[in-house]
A and B are shown apart, each in its own frame.
Chain A
Amino acid sequence: MQTILPALVSILFHGLAFAMVLYIVSVGLSLTMGLMGFVNLAHGAFAMVGGYVAVTLMNVYHVPFGLALLAAFIVVALVSAVLERTLYTRLYGAGELEQVLFTIGLVFMAGAVMRELFGPVPLPVTPPAMLSGQLDLGFRTVPMYRAFIIGVSFVLIALLWLGIERTRFGARLRAAVDNRRMAEAIGIDTSLLFTVTFALGSGLAALGGGLGADILAIYPGYAIEYLVYFLMVVAVGGLGSIRGPFVAALLLGIGDTACKYLVPEFGAFFLYAAMIALLMWRPAGLFGRI
Chain B
Amino acid sequence: MTDAIAIATALRQHRPRWIEAIPWILGIGGYFVFSDQLAFGSQILIAILFALSLDLVLGFAGIVTLGHAAFYGTGAYAAGIYAIHVSHEPLSGLLVAAVAAAAVGAISGLVILRTHGLTQLMLTLAIATLLAEAANKASFLTGGNDGLQGIEIDPIAGLFHFDMFGRTGYLYCLIVLFIAWLFTRVLLASPFGQSLVGIRENVTRMHAIGAPVGARLLITYAIGAAIAGVAGGLLAQTTQFVGQSVLSFERSGEVVIMLVFGGIGRIYGAFIGAAIYMIAQDQLAKSDPEFWNFWIGLILVLSVLFARGGILGIIDRLRGR
Give me the interface of A with B, judged by CB distance under 8 Å.
33, 39, 87, 90-91, 94, 96-98, 100-102, 104-113, 115-116, 120, 224-225, 227-228, 231-232, 234-235, 239, 265-269, 272-273, 275-276, 279-280, 283-285
Contacts and interface: CB of A to CB of B under 8 A. Distances in A.
B129 A112 contact: no
Contact of A102 (B119, B127, B301): B301
Contact of B136 (A104, A110, A235, A267): A267
B128 to A, nearest CB: 9
B37 interface: no
16 contacts: A39-B121, A97-B58, A98-B308, A104-B253, A107-B297, A111-B297, A113-B294, A228-B122, A231-B126, A232-B126, A267-B136, A268-B133, A269-B133, A273-B130, A275-B126, A283-B119
A102 B257 CA distance: 11
Interface of B: 58, 64, 66, 111, 114-115, 117-119, 121-123, 125-127, 129-130, 133-134, 136-137, 249, 253, 256-257, 260, 264, 290-294, 296-301, 303-305, 308
A273 B133 CA distance: 11
Given A39-B121, A96-B117, A283-B114, A111 B293 contact: yes
A111 B249 CA distance: 14
A37 to B, nearest CB: 8
Contacts of B115: 279, 283
B125 A227 contact: yes
A112 B290 contact: yes
Given A87-B305, A228-B126, A273-B130, 16 more contacts: A39-B121, A100-B66, A105-B300, A108-B293, A115-B293, A120-B290, A227-B125, A228-B125, A231-B122, A235-B118, A235-B123, A266-B137, A272-B126, A279-B115, A283-B115, A284-B119
A228 B129 contact: yes
B297 A106 contact: yes
A102 B305 contact: yes
B118 A39 contact: yes
A195 to B, nearest CB: 19
A234 B137 contact: no
Nearest to A234: B118
Nearest to A107: B297
A108 B296 contact: yes
B305 A112 contact: no
A104 B129 CA distance: 17
Nearest to B58: A97
Contacts of B129: 228, 272
B119, B127, B130, B137 pick with most chain A CB within 10 angstroms: B119
A224 B249 contact: yes
Contacts of A273: 130
A92 to B, nearest CB: 13
B122 A269 contact: no
Contacts of B136: 267
Nearest to B117: A96
A101 B300 contact: yes
A105 B290 contact: no
Contact of A231 (B125, B127, B130): B125
Nearest to B264: A97
A49 to B, nearest CB: 14
Contacts of B256: 101, 104
Contacts of A116: 290-291, 294
Contacts of A284: 119
Contact of A97 (B64, B133, B299, B305): B64
B273 to A, nearest CB: 13
A269 B118 contact: no
A280 B114 contact: yes
Contact of A269 (B119, B121, B130, B293): B130
A276 B118 contact: no
B122, B125, B256 pick with most chain A CB within 10 angstroms: B122
Given A104-B253, A108-B294, A267 B133 contact: yes
A108 B294 CA distance: 6
A177 to B, nearest CB: 15
A280 B293 CA distance: 34
B304 A280 contact: no
B294 A285 contact: no
B297 A105 contact: yes
A101 B123 CA distance: 17
A97 B305 CA distance: 12
Contacts of B119: 235, 279, 283-285
Contacts of B123: 235, 276, 279
Nearest to B62: A97
A109 B297 contact: yes
Nearest to A231: B122
A101 B294 CA distance: 14
A108 B121 contact: no
Contacts of A112: 290-294, 297
B114 A265 contact: no
A96 B64 contact: yes
Given A227-B125, A231-B121, A232-B122, A102 B130 contact: no
B320 to A, nearest CB: 24
A235 B120 CA distance: 9
Contacts of A115: 290-291, 293
